[in-house]
Structure 1
């Protein structure tokens, strides 16, 4: 009875003085920064390739302070589809874009109804910012009423664009409270900055460059757009964003999408010739230096401990960077892997991936699991305590458990799917990789349609544990493995997802989807 009276007394005290009862302090959500390089190869970083002839001290330092993922991939070997998957957690080939990339004139690819990393984080109280290369289409305001004639991902004529009016369905419509965007690649017109849906200055001239590495396509250019200054401008604005947001109580998410070292290759004068290789290597040196400045900005602002920084690339190094010349000079942008940008081979989609989060990730740690940029969606959702619905992030697995280097991976994911520039598929399960194409599916030999493909098998099967260079096709000896991987891929396509959950529809697509020829061969 005395115990009952004591409980009643303590309860009454709690009602009168609620502050006397201590509540567990809620752990503050981390800031999140995702830095995405453009066309940087796996083998360009010393941390990932000790034979690299490019010095990358700041990226190597980032790796020492965080975790390296040695088997990280993009979903596609080219940029637009990889960026789609990164933001949506959904394979790019589920959209209407079945091959290739968009241009600066293309209409928006991601419908505003689809949840993105930015919109989910915003809904959980994050400040969200985008700075850099968008390349996912924008709905430009037109001078004539012809918008209904243009579909998702299709292009408009610059003569029809009214640059004085706001654009629609860009970063701001997809969850970014602040955006400062380059519409597409640095070699694709229009050459303008779009800040919060408005062009900062209307184009007043047409520019073109036809240098070997510095080239860009002819197109309208704004007075404030200087190609050589775009990368430094994005880094400067990113650092300013970090400094400003670090002073506020709410956590922030910054997606810094670099337009480099993609063409045009434009290292500042201070970096020209510093690598002793080609301008591409000089450009990588410059980017590395700016990464060091971002890392230092976090330390100076006092937010380093609880900030998750991820650095990766949207695909492998491009031939236009002087890939073959670099190899002749002893530098291998794809390290020991076959192929380069656009290819279904590893060099097309295996990329460097570093995650640094001092309060959660042990410095100098390493993971060898197969992961994908598509996993960023579920990772951000778990960090923010966001519950993913069946129609969101259909192919994304959270990396949060892997950030603890002591955790066993168990079955992190069943399989991972890749896509080449021409839409060819590959699927990876364990050490085995099945390519549903005769050749590269991209720009290296044998290219699609090359006569050399005529006598090759319809598919390629490689064991990456024993043959990381994809040199010995085992499809004839391992028919059961081919069938198993093919059936898994077919299931992923038909069910509209590769994660557990209710099957979802892929986006409507007009015309023949040539890349799924194998679905009729079960």
Structure 2
């Protein structure tokens, strides 16, 4: 039988029963006060949860193309149900860009919020032997979050250099491309200038790409196993350079190993009160293309497609781990790629099966064209981002630094995150105009530049700046215009060069590019120095006064 609330209340609380019968007004006042105070307590609890900075899991794939994810390329033939689910549960960006079309400079930009061409690395990538690129005194996303109470971890492919101990300090022994370059490394000694020196409490990974020797894991500065053999493979998909290899390093198991370690890390840190930041930098689906036996042949296309499906499955396992631990609501999961897909994926075989890994965009990894640097970018954060959101804002992977600073309410100094803009306004449906990026700089493997403002993209080179036609210093570009201008709103495939039609846009964008170079930043603030300044500054200054006749 149903009784009014006050009947139960009076039955279980004699004092209140007496008040109810003799002083009904006082009784109802006390009840109302209890309800109000309880509500206030609950409201404060909700606000406390909402204000706690989120856990951050940043998953960076290697050489994964814009068209390799089904939600970005519905006509694609590689199935990625788990990454698609991540997009459906969060926010998918359609116009996201890596700051470079190759590995090392993009990773520099992600961790520092600064374009790599401002560092000593003006083109190309580092090797597995290269010295550390990021100085210890430069703020990184990890050091910023660490100082703000986060536990920080790096797991995966580093490719930003660290300092191996040399047996003979007077003989460096080569740059790291050949097997003999590693004869002088003392693999029994701890490395120097490691990820731990750049803000990571925990660091586990290998030095370069999975096809770059040496093949050893380093955990918190220590090599995890004895180097006891030399390995090399020369298969069509499984190629890697000859080099020293540790007893616990099996190429086929590297990607699964990194995912397993990451999930264990998430499980451990979920038990603690402090938020965590996990930078999971995958070596896949970059060469060597090594799906495990369980996944080999599953796509019915080629090993690259198999590898993609395996990667997708592991992303699903990370998502499930977060869900099962009950930390999903306030955990931000970001999935993206360091550049466009590589031709090593075997474009001919993929095309024959109806799959375009670069999603219809021109070019691929290494190029200044969109296929070189337009990448998938997906963010899931239930506490802040509603499901099934799509943003067409032009963003850069350098934006992680300012976003992290915004999350922990830290104001970046003038020499921090010089090319980083917070994405938080884009996450909030009430504030879509608060994202302050005015323009974005793109960079190719040979150091060619492009600048994008609105729909206009100006390329400061006659060709691709990379590996697709027209290849610099290889294909004949003498009859091509010096620069290229494209309107991406009507020509996303970059087919019609408008450089002769709009000299005023060429001048405007060139001046903006000059200011970004000479000011040492693209964000507001005091001018900074590019270190060291090895660009041809005179050419940029002369370009301020370009005319149609000069462009040819």
> Does the TM-score normalized on the shorter chain lie above 0.5?
yes
Q: Give, in whole Å, the separation in 1 of the partners of 2:493 and 2:162.
A: 38
Q: Give, in whole Å, the separation in 2 of the partners of 1:149 and 1:386.
A: 43
How far does residue 170 in structure 1 lie from its aligned partner after superposition? 1.7
Query: Which of 278, 285, 289 is the aligned partner of 2:309?
Result: 285
How far does residue 207 in structure 1 lie from its aligned partner after superposition? 0.5
1:521 maps onto 2:531 in alignment: no
Partner in structure 1 of residue 27 of structure 2:
none
Q: Give, in whole Å, the separation in 2 of the partners of 1:79 and 1:381.
A: 24
Q: Give, in whole Å, the separation in 2 of the partners of 1:42 and 1:388.
A: 31
Q: Give, in whole Å, the separation in 2 of the partners of 1:305 and 1:161.
A: 46
Query: Which of 256, 262, 266 is the aligned partner of 1:238?
Result: 262
1:77 touches 1:315 (CA, 8 Å); kept in 2?
yes
**2:476 aligns to what SS in structure 1?**
helix
Q: Give, in whole Å, the separation in 2 of the partners of 1:202 and 1:342.
A: 35
Q: How does 1:380-459 map to 2 (within 5 A)?
A: 380-409=404-433, 412-459=436-483
Query: Which of 51, 60, 77 is the aligned partner of 2:84?
Result: 60
1:147-169 CA distance string (max 9 Å, x none): 89999x9x993111111111111
Q: How does 1:213-362 map to 2 (within 5 A)?
A: 213-362=237-386
1:105 touches 1:156 (CA, 8 Å); kept in 2?
no
How far does residue 277 in structure 1 lie from its aligned partner after superposition? 1.0
Q: How does 1:62-81 map to 2 (within 5 A)?
A: 62-81=86-105
How far does residue 513 in structure 1 lie from its aligned partner after superposition? 3.2
1:104 touches 1:184 (CA, 8 Å); kept in 2?
yes
356-365 vs 157-166, greater mean Cα deviation: 157-166
Larger CA Rg, structure 1 vs 2: 2
1:369 touches 1:409 (CA, 8 Å); kept in 2?
no
Partner in structure 2 of residue 484 of structure 1:
508
Output the TM-score relative to the length of structure 2: 0.87
Cα distance change of structure 1 residues 516 and 421 upon mapping to structure 2, 3 Å threshold: farther
Output the TM-score relative to the length of structure 1: 0.92
How far does residue 410 in structure 1 lie from its aligned partner after superposition? 5.8
2:155 touches 2:281 (CA, 8 Å); kept in 1?
yes
Partner in structure 2 of residue 36 of structure 1:
60
1:129-150 CA distance string (max 9 Å, x none): 0000000001011112338999
Partner in structure 2 of residue 4 of structure 1:
none
1:317 touches 1:333 (CA, 8 Å); kept in 2?
yes
Partner in structure 2 of residue 212 of structure 1:
236
Q: Give, in whole Å, the separation in 2 of the partners of 1:352 and 1:66.
A: 13
Q: Give, in whole Å, the separation in 2 of the partners of 1:324 and 1:343.
A: 18
Q: Give, in whole Å, the separation in 2 of the partners of 1:84 and 1:519.
A: 27
Cα distance change of structure 1 residues 451 and 354 upon mapping to structure 2, 3 Å threshold: closer
Aligned length: 498
CA RMSD of aligned residues (A): 2.0
How far does residue 321 in structure 1 lie from its aligned partner after superposition? 1.2
